[in-house]
Structure 1
Amino acid sequence: MRFLISNDDGYFAPGLAALAATLGRHGEVVVVAPERDRSGASNSLTLDRPLTLRQAANGFHYVNGTPTDCVHLAVTGWLDFRPDMIFSGINHGANMGDDTIYSGTVAAATEGYLLGIPSVAVSLCGKSGQNFATACHVVDGLVERFRARPFGAPVLLNVNVPDIPLPALAGVTTTRLGRRHHAEPVIEARNPRGEAVYWVGAVGAAQDAGEGTDFWATANNLASVTPLSIDLTAYPQLDGVKAWLQP
């Protein structure tokens, strides 16, 4: 198999190296990742300047753009083959619930999906970053399943793995996205010139974290696998909006 890998933590991130080593046991791996941390970049494309692609000493390639730029550049012009799968990660930190809207990790996988390639975003849920091996074990299982039973159409999977030792992992389960409360307020500070600057506040606590959600799964030592859809249409509101627009 042939894999394209990207992330949003940057080409130097330990999770990216762990993912590349894991997928390297299954086939050919090409890494195209951002040159710096682009967490929260979402699905943005760089349209106001050209992009450059360079190669690091470890063989990874890096781009002066967003995670979406990396996948788009690789698939639509730079690679001389079409990947069998695209993986994004392993992110240092969770991407669950509403976080997926902002996540550069999920965005890189989304771009692969939009280009017609089965794509998987993988995140390690914890601040310590001590158990990337657990996430790699989950990735191994996903690749083996894909090889044995490939999907008939492109799929976009969002995977979150608790940051725990592998023996503590209770399994892998299919989930839906949970929901968070509103984020905490921005934090005001002063720069050396005395001007007001603002830091984006912390994410809110989980609001919908019931059984079956990604929040519930990881809290119960399960790896969460959520299939994502890109159609943002609010179908239940179509008739209401149609009537509202009538003169």
Structure 2
Amino acid sequence: MRILVTNDDGIFSEGIYQLAKAFMSIGEVIVVAPNKEQSATGHSITLHRPLRVSKVKFFDTPIEAHAIDGTPVDCVKVAVEAILKDRRPDLVVSGINNGPNLGTDVIYSGTVSAAVEAAILEIPSIAVSMASTKIDTFQDAAEFTCRITKSIHQLTRSKVGIININYPTCRKESISGVKVTTLGVRRYENSLIERKDPRGDSYYWISGKAMELQQSEDSDVIAVRNNYISITPIHFDLTHFKDYDDLKKIKFEA
């Protein structure tokens, strides 16, 4: 199996190192990732300047690695369509993200967007994140993802699926188990912080604290809150089929 590993925290982050190292045990690993942090870039791509690609030494491993001065989606596109055009990956794994990608936050996530881009290119993919930024180790999450990949790949291969994993940051012995989940809802309070520059003009930081919202019991948010590893199947078809059916009943005139 040939595995493309990417992320949004940058090619020299601890999460991608542990993930790529774990996957060496099951296949050929190639790392193509941003040369600096690209968190919350969503599904953006770079159109108005060239992308620079640099081959780099990937920590203490023999893994082939390339750093790109672009977004995670750029990395997947360049990897599949250029760097690996004659060595198409069987699987794309994105992560391990330094923090959660739960619920509706997946729309903003560079980590998840890299996995979505892989699916658009008809390659099965996995996005994996830590369920909190209070992280002692990425190793357990990396080993878990690697361990379940064979089962997930058999499921997703025919459907070109995307799997979103969030791994608890509690002690390994405190993990409650594994749950297959739905996407919850994430919203933030005080998400814009206004400040003044020396000229008295306003500028803003986008920040904020996640709100405690009512969630479905089968949501990823509830699962990780209770120390479960969350596994959520997602897809990029945003069609609202209920509204589609309702709109089909209306006679529109051009």
Residue number in structure 2 paired with 1:167: 173
Q: Secondary structure at the match of 1:130?
A: coil
**Is the 2:167–2:224 Cα contact (8 Å) retained in structure 1?**
yes
Within 2, Cα distance between the matches of 1:206 and 1:97?
A: 13
CA offset digits 1:225-245 (Å, max 9, x no partner): 111021111111124445384
In structure 2, the residue matched to 1:218 is 224
Q: Is residue 162–residue 234 contact of structure 2 (8 Å, CA) maintained in 1? A: yes
Matched, 1:124 2:138: no
The equivalent residue for 2:68 is 63
Cα displacement (A) at 1:170? 2.0
For residues 70-108 of structure 1, the C-alpha deviation after alignment (integer angstroms, 9 at most, x for no partner) is 001100121131111100000010001110000000000
Query: Aligned to 1:32, what secondary structure does the other structure show?
Result: strand
Question: Secondary structure at 1:212's aligned position in 2?
Answer: coil
AA aligned to 1:38 is: Q
The answer to which of 199-208 and 88-97 deviates more is: 199-208
Question: What is the distance in 2 between the residues matched to 1:182 and 1:92?
Answer: 19
What does residue range 142-153 of structure 1 map to in structure 2 within 5 Å? 142-146=148-152, 151-153=157-159
Cα deviation for residue 145 of structure 1 reads 2.1
CA distance in 2, matches of 1:244, 1:200: 43
RMSD: 2.0
> CA deviation digits over 1:89-146, x for unaligned, max 9?
0001000111000000000000111111110000001122213122113212222324
1:8 corresponding residue in structure 2:
8
Question: Offset of 1:184 from its aligned partner?
Answer: 2.8
Q: In the aligned structure 2, how far is the partner of 1:193 from the partner of 1:62?
A: 39
CA distance in 2 between counterparts of 1:75 and 1:180 reads 32
Q: Distance in 2 between matches of 1:60 and 1:190?
A: 42
TM-score, scaled relative to structure 2 = 0.90
Structure 1 spans left out of the alignment, 5+ residues: none
Moved more, 51-60 or 23-32: 51-60
5 Å-filtered alignment, 1:138-217, equals: 138-146=144-152, 151-217=157-223
Of 202-211 and 64-73, more deviation after overlay is shown by 202-211
Give the superposition deviation at 1:222: 0.9
Q: Please list every run of 5 or more consecutive structure 2 residues that lacks an aligned counterpart in the other structure.
A: 59-63
Q: Alignment partner of 2:33: what SS?
A: strand
The one-letter amino acid paired with 2:76 is V
Q: Is the 8 A contact 1:43 1:68 kept in 2?
A: yes
Equivalent residue runs for 1:18-57 within 5 Å = 18-57=18-57
What is the Cα deviation at residue 185 of structure 1? Answer: 3.6
Task: Report what 2:89 is aligned to.
Answer: 83
Pick closer, same or farther for the CA change 1:244–1:128 going to 2, 3 Å: farther
- Between stretches 41-50 and 160-169, larger displacement belongs to 160-169
Paired residue type of 1:63: I
Tell me whether 1:72 sits opposite 2:77 in the alignment. Answer: yes
Shift of 1:186: 0.6
Deviation per CA, 1:6-47: give whole Å up to 9, x if none.
101111110010101111111111111111111110011111
Q: Which residue of 2 aligns with 1:114?
A: 120
Distance, in Å, in 1 between the alignment partners of 2:194 and 2:117 is 34
Residue 92 of structure 1 is matched in structure 2 by: 98
Percent identical among aligned pairs is 38
Q: Distance in 1 between matches of 2:78 and 2:122?
A: 15
Q: Residue type matched to 1:28 in 2?
A: E
Runs (4+) of structure 1 exceeding 3 A deviation are: 146-151, 191-195, 239-242, 244-247
Larger mean CA deviation between 176-185 and 14-23 belongs to 176-185
The range that moved more, 10-19 or 193-202, is 193-202
How many residues align? The count is 247
Inter-CA distance 239–84: structure 2 relative to 1 (3 Å threshold)? closer
- Cα distance in 1 for residues equivalent to 2:156 and 2:111: 23
